[in-house]
Structure 1
Amino acid sequence: MSRISAACVLLLLLCAGGPATAGTATRVLEGRVLADRDGDGRADRPREGIGGVALSNGRELVRSGPDGRYRITLRDGDTLLLIKPADWQPALRADGLPDIWQHERRKASRGLRYGGLPRSRASGTFVLRPAPAVHDPFEIRVFGDPQPKSALEVEHFRRDIVEPLIGRPARLGITLGDIVDDDLSLYPSMLAAMRRLDTPWLHVPGNHDLDFDAATDAGSLETFRAHFGPDTLAWEEPGVSVIGLDDVIYDPESRRYAGGLREDQLAFLEAYLGALPADRLVVLAVHIPLFGSFDAADRQRLFALLRRFDKVLVLSAHSHTQRHVFYGEAEGWHGAEPLHEYNVGATCGGYWGGLPDAEGVPDARMADGTPNGYATLMVEPGGDYRLRWTAARDADDPAMHLHAPKVLRRGAYPGVPVVANVYMADSDSRVEARIGDGPWQPMRRVEAADPVMLAINLADDAAGELRSFNRLPQAVDSTHLFMLNLPTDLELGEHRIEVRVFDRWRGELRAETRYRIADWP
Structure 2
Amino acid sequence: MSKRVVWLPLVAAALLAGANVPAASRASDIAAVAQVVAAAAPAEPALADVTGVVYLDANRDGRRDPREQGLAGVKVSNGRDVAISDARGRYRLPGRERATVFVIKPAAYAVPTGADGLPRFWQHLFPQGSPALKYGGIPAATIPTALDFGLLHAPRRRAGASLEMLVFGDPQPKTRTDVDYYERDIVAPLMGRHDAKLGLSVGDIVNDDLSLYADMNRVTAKLGVPWLHVAGNHDLDFDAQADEDSLLSFRNVYGPDTYAWEEPQASFVVLDDVVYRPGQKPDYIGGLREEQFEFLQRYLATLPKERRVVIAAHIPFFDPVPGVETFRRADRERLFTLLRDHAQVFLISAHTHNQRHYRHGAETGWHGAQPLHEYNVGATCGAFWSGVKDAQGIPDTTMSDGTPNGHAWLTIQADGRYALRYQVARAAGDPAIGLHAPRVLRQGAYPAYGVYANVYMGEADTRVEYRIDGGEWKPMRRVLQADPALLAENVADDAASALRGYDRSPEANVSTHLWRGTLPTDLALGEHRIEVRALDPWQGEQHAAASYRLQQAAE
TM-score bracket for the superposition, by shorter chain length:
over 0.9
The correspondence for 2:311, drawn from 256, 279, 284, is 284
Q: Say whether 1:417 aligns with 2:418.
A: no
Q: Say whether 1:34 aligns with 2:55.
A: yes
SS of alignment partner, residue 27 of structure 1: coil
SS of alignment partner, residue 335 of structure 2: helix
Matched residue, 1:87: 108
Q: CA deviation at 1:400?
A: 1.0
Judging by fraction of residues, say which structure has more strand: 1
Matched residue, 1:60: 81
Letter in 2 for 1:374: H
Paired residues of 1:22 and 1:107 also in contact (CA < 8 A):
no
State the identity %. Answer: 53
SS of alignment partner, residue 363 of structure 2: helix
Q: Structure 2 stretches of 5 or more lacking a match?
A: 1-41, 320-325
Q: Say whether 1:43 aligns with 2:64.
A: yes
Once the two structures are overlaid, the 10-residue window that deviates more, 120-129 or 151-160, is 120-129
Q: CA deviation at 1:265?
A: 0.4
Matched residue, 1:182: 208
Q: CA deviation at 1:97?
A: 1.0
Q: CA deviation at 1:493?
A: 1.3
The correspondence for 2:223, drawn from 182, 197, 216, is 197
Distance of 1:175 and 1:364 partners within structure 2: 18
Q: CA deviation at 1:214?
A: 0.6
Q: Say whether 1:136 aligns with 2:153.
A: no
SS of alignment partner, residue 75 of structure 1: coil
Q: CA deviation at 1:136?
A: 2.2
Once the two structures are overlaid, the 10-residue window that deviates more, 243-252 or 120-129, is 120-129
Distance of 1:251 and 1:223 partners within structure 2: 17
Matched residue, 1:272: 299
The Cα RMSD (Å) is 1.5
Q: CA deviation at 1:111?
A: 2.5
Matched residue, 1:353: 386
The correspondence for 2:512, drawn from 479, 483, 491, is 479
Paired residues of 2:524 and 2:550 also in contact (CA < 8 A):
yes
Distance of 2:491 and 2:66 partners within structure 1: 67
Matched residue, 2:426: 393
Distance of 2:163 and 2:226 partners within structure 1: 13
Matched residue, 1:492: 525
Matched residue, 2:398: 365
Paired residues of 1:169 and 1:199 also in contact (CA < 8 A):
no
Alpha-carbon spacing, 1:185–1:39, altered in 2? closer, same or farther (3 Å): closer
Q: TM-score w.r.t. structure 1 length?
A: 0.94
Distance of 2:533 and 2:218 partners within structure 1: 41
SS of alignment partner, residue 219 of structure 2: helix
SS of alignment partner, residue 305 of structure 2: coil
SS of alignment partner, residue 271 of structure 1: helix
Alpha-carbon spacing, 1:22–1:353, altered in 2? closer, same or farther (3 Å): farther
Q: CA deviation at 1:254?
A: 2.6
Q: CA deviation at 1:94?
A: 1.0
SS of alignment partner, residue 48 of structure 2: strand
Q: CA deviation at 1:118?
A: 1.2
Distance of 1:169 and 1:69 partners within structure 2: 35
Letter in 2 for 1:203: H
Paired residues of 2:432 and 2:455 also in contact (CA < 8 A):
yes
Q: CA deviation at 1:482?
A: 0.5
Paired residues of 1:28 and 1:74 also in contact (CA < 8 A):
yes
Q: CA deviation at 1:519?
A: 1.6
SS of alignment partner, residue 242 of structure 1: strand
Paired residues of 2:163 and 2:265 also in contact (CA < 8 A):
no
Once the two structures are overlaid, the 10-residue window that deviates more, 321-330 or 282-291, is 321-330
Letter in 2 for 1:129: L
Question: How do 1:456-467 residues align onto structure 2 when only pairs under 5 Å count?
Answer: 456-467=489-500
The structure having more radius of gyration, on CA atoms, is 2
Paired residues of 2:100 and 2:255 also in contact (CA < 8 A):
yes
Paired residues of 2:526 and 2:551 also in contact (CA < 8 A):
yes
Q: CA deviation at 1:169?
A: 5.1
Q: CA deviation at 1:41?
A: 4.8
Paired residues of 2:162 and 2:265 also in contact (CA < 8 A):
no
Paired residues of 1:177 and 1:209 also in contact (CA < 8 A):
yes
Alpha-carbon spacing, 1:94–1:23, altered in 2? closer, same or farther (3 Å): farther
Matched residue, 1:7: none
Q: CA deviation at 1:81?
A: 1.2
Paired residues of 1:169 and 1:198 also in contact (CA < 8 A):
no
Once the two structures are overlaid, the 10-residue window that deviates more, 327-336 or 492-501, is 327-336
Matched residue, 1:8: none
Letter in 1 for 2:165: I
Paired residues of 1:83 and 1:233 also in contact (CA < 8 A):
yes
Q: Say whether 1:145 aligns with 2:166.
A: no
SS of alignment partner, residue 195 of structure 1: helix
Letter in 2 for 1:447: L
Per-residue CA shift, 1:414-472, capped at 9, x if unaligned? 11110001100111111110011211011111111111111111101110011111112
Letter in 2 for 1:139: E
SS of alignment partner, residue 208 of structure 1: helix
Once the two structures are overlaid, the 10-residue window that deviates more, 425-434 or 164-173, is 164-173
Q: CA deviation at 1:22?
A: 12
Q: CA deviation at 1:377?
A: 0.6
Count of aligned residue pairs for this structure pair: 501
Letter in 2 for 1:125: D
Question: How do 1:428-467 residues align onto structure 2 when only pairs under 5 Å count?
Answer: 428-467=461-500
Q: CA deviation at 1:330?
A: 3.1
SS of alignment partner, residue 378 of structure 1: strand
Distance of 1:24 and 1:443 partners within structure 2: 63
